[in-house]
A and B are shown apart, each in its own frame.
Chain A
Amino acid sequence: MTTHRAWWKTALGLLFTAIMLFPVYWMVNVSLTRTGDLRSDPPHWFPWEPTFEGYTAVLDQQLPALGTSLLVGLGCVVLTVVIAAPAGYALGLLHLRGGRTLNFLLLVAQMIPAVVMAMGFYAIYNRLGLLNTVGGLIVADSTIAVPFGVLLFTAFMSGIPRELLQAARVDGAGAWRTFWSVVVPLSRNSTITVSLFAFLWAWSDFIFASTLNRNGDLIPITLGIYHYIGNNTTQWNAIMATAVVASVPAAILLVVAQRYVAAGVTAGAVKD
């Protein structure tokens, strides 16, 4: 009976995914369409006369930008986890006084519109000399993920069984040792979840890259797309091709990471 149900569910799952990803299919469709056919009425379901000029343009020109985006994404992940995990520990397990206020402040931090942040950063970075640097962009992108990361880590860490922490304390471990040897290994799933969010948000960021990183030798892919947007003309098939090519490595990362996000905390506690 379980196999029966499984088939039915798989079919339904495929259907839902297909509906959800239809716009993505359309994106691929456009990326292969000739400029002359882009606006044909009725629209072509399938690119019958495909053109690969979009993809050739991307592969010729955008690969460094892809590399930069990857670098920024990973850097953002590291920075976010390094700041958010200890903070989550402080709030969730060490019961920082004023923790509730801090949490509220974190919520407020997320309410600030991105444009406001970018304009503020421009001034700060200008004085710190961080304009047009990959490091600066990493820090800017992390502001999107850090408050959320702290929230997630706090929630998770406060759910770690007290017995494990007590056992560590009985052994004489201080706060740091407890953190490093007990809490961090147990937080693997939340770390991966936070990393996932941080990576995705950094990968698709445009506003910070546009304001702060225009002239670097290394620009991320979201800016690379503007290569195809002229003053009055736009090469849509190249833009869509860029998006498709950019999605592939990130999609792979996603599939790998999903497995860890899924497992519950009980599994983590038992295994470790």
Chain B
Amino acid sequence: MTTTPTAVGTHGAPRGAAGIRPAAPTGRRRRGPSASQWAAVGFAAPLLVYLVLFYAYPLWRNVDLSLHDYTIRAFVQGNAEFVGFENYAEVFASSTFPTALTNTVLFTVGSIVFQFAIGLALAVFFRSSFRLSGALRAMFLVPWLLPLIVSASTWAWMLNSDNGIVNSVLGAFGAEQINWLTSPDTALLSVTIANIWLGIPFNLVILYSGLQNIPGDVYEAASLDGAGAWRQFWSITFPLLRPVSLITILLGLIYTLKVVDVIWIMTTGGPGDASTTFAVWSYREAFGTGQPDFSPAAAVGNVLILVALVFGFLHLQLQRRQEDS
């Protein structure tokens, strides 16, 4: 499986990031552009229809919700008042906003850094196959199989202040009881840990496949030159994995920004607002109380999408810079 997303959306030959094939562009379109383009459109047609049908409408609906004042009465009757950017103004002025912003940044950065680092470390570890490596690698994907309500509840169980196994173990070493989920100081940390656990399989699979595409002879040459394992990692593995890493981190970012279930089940964003991120805030406005507040929820949701968009643009720029270099 290739790992060169530099090819994504480009018209030139992929750079030798994985060293698979010659760098010089040898592929030439044998037909005139139009015929090849028609073929391309034909192959992409199902996707295009699919995108318009299933993504455009919910997105438009969300924008619509955020620009009107949808009390639940208006939601049902369909006659909401247009209020422009008032919902957004309320969101930015709300007392929850700074807390949610800080929490989102901490949660996202914390999750991604550790998910990526641990995933990469494990991928490198599994790279050389040893006995049982295949089966063990498959076992790492088991967390993915579990419904989120189960995995999140299990973590909540384990981190319970009074009867959780984590405190029990810590207590055996003489540590004080930590109120993981009920103290404002540690609530965010707890959900981050659970989220890291959930994200490791994804990073492991992608990074591992990326590693598989780095030919072994590069490493052999390096060790012949006397480079140790650590040096090999920094000089060979890390640079060659850059495009894969970029896309993994970007996707990880997008997915982490959307995380609601884990936090909701473990702490419902609490205590108070201690573990509320934008996604949780949006969910809570819409579904967490007896009085659904769809418009502010949609506004927060759109802010989230905008943040993700910014990072998407960044990624695009980074990609372009890589291609031009």
Q: What residues on A are CB-neighbors of B144 within 8 Å?
A: 200, 204
- The reply on B55 being an interface residue by CB < 8 A is yes
Contacting pair B40 A90 (CB below 8 A): yes
- The reply on B241 being an interface residue by CB < 8 A is no
Q: How far is the CA of A266 from the CA of B215 in the complex (A)?
A: 9
Contacting pair B62 A200 (CB below 8 A): no
Contacting pair B58 A112 (CB below 8 A): yes
1/0 contact string of B226-268 vs chain A (CB within 8 Å) = 0000000000000000000001001100110110110000000
Q: What residues on B are CB-neighbors of A254 within 8 Å?
A: 138, 141-142, 145
Interface secondary structure of A, over-half rule: helix
Q: How far is the CA of A84 from the CA of B18 in the complex (A)?
A: 23
A90 partner, pick from B20, B44, B122, B208, beta carbons under 8 A: B44
- The reply on A36 being an interface residue by CB < 8 A is no
- The reply on B126 being an interface residue by CB < 8 A is yes
Contacting pair B305 A111 (CB below 8 A): yes
User: How many A residues touch B, CB cutoff 8 Å?
Assistant: 116
Q: Which residue of B lies closest to A203 (CB)?
A: B145
- The reply on B131 being an interface residue by CB < 8 A is yes
Q: How far is the CA of A121 from the CA of B50 in the complex (A)?
A: 13
- The reply on A115 being an interface residue by CB < 8 A is yes
Contacting pair B9 A91 (CB below 8 A): yes
Contacting pair B257 A193 (CB below 8 A): no
A203 to chain B, nearest CB (A): 6
Contact A175 to B43, CB < 8 A, known contacts A26-B158, A111-B258: yes
Q: Which residue of A lies closest to B279 (CB)?
A: A113
Which stretch in B105-113, B163-171, B184-192 binds the other chain? Answer: B163-171
A139 to chain B, nearest CB (A): 7
- Chain B, 100-130, CB within 8 A of any chain A CB: 122, 125-126, 128, 130
Q: How far is the CA of A161 from the CA of B21 in the complex (A)?
A: 6
- The reply on B10 being an interface residue by CB < 8 A is yes
Q: What residues on B are CB-neighbors of A105 within 8 Å?
A: 51
B222 to chain A, nearest CB (A): 18
Q: What residues on B are CB-neighbors of A39 within 8 Å?
A: 160, 163
- The reply on B32 being an interface residue by CB < 8 A is no
Q: What residues on B are CB-neighbors of A111 within 8 Å?
A: 254, 257-258, 304-305, 308-309, 312
Q: How many residue pairs at the A-B interface have CB separations less than 8 Å?
A: 336
Q: How far is the CA of A158 from the CA of B301 in the complex (A)?
A: 34
Q: Which residue of A lies closest to B44 (CB)?
A: A90
Contacting pair A263 B212 (CB below 8 A): yes
B134 partner, pick from A143, A196, A262, beta carbons under 8 A: A262
A266 to chain B, nearest CB (A): 7
Q: Which residue of A lies closest to B312 (CB)?
A: A107
- The reply on A1 being an interface residue by CB < 8 A is no
Which residue, of A9, A107, A151, A159, has the highest number of chain B Cβ atoms within 10 A?
A: A159
- The reply on A216 being an interface residue by CB < 8 A is no
Contacting pair B54 A121 (CB below 8 A): yes
Q: Which residue of A lies closest to B10 (CB)?
A: A100
Contacting pair A120 B58 (CB below 8 A): yes
Contacting pair A155 B261 (CB below 8 A): no
Q: Could you jot down 25 A-B contacts, CB within 8 Å?
A: A10-B133, A13-B133, A20-B140, A23-B143, A27-B154, A43-B164, A86-B47, A94-B43, A99-B9, A102-B44, A102-B47, A104-B9, A105-B51, A107-B250, A108-B308, A111-B312, A112-B305, A146-B47, A154-B5, A155-B5, A158-B7, A159-B4, A175-B42, A196-B205, A265-B1
Given A100-B8, A112-B305, A123-B57, 16 more pairs with CB closer than 8 A: A14-B132, A16-B136, A43-B163, A96-B43, A99-B9, A106-B51, A108-B312, A120-B61, A143-B54, A146-B50, A151-B251, A155-B7, A176-B39, A193-B205, A251-B138, A251-B139
The 4 closest A-B pairs by CB, nearest first: A120-B58, A158-B7, A159-B2, A100-B9
**Residues of B in contact with A (beta carbons under 8 Å apart):** 1-5, 7-11, 13-14, 18, 20-21, 26-27, 29-30, 36-37, 39-44, 46-48, 50-51, 53-55, 57-59, 61-62, 122, 125-126, 128, 130-151, 153-155, 157-158, 160, 162-165, 168, 171, 197, 200, 205, 208-209, 212-213, 215, 247, 250-251, 254-255, 257-258, 260-261, 279, 282-283, 286-287, 298, 301, 304-305, 308-309, 312, 315-316
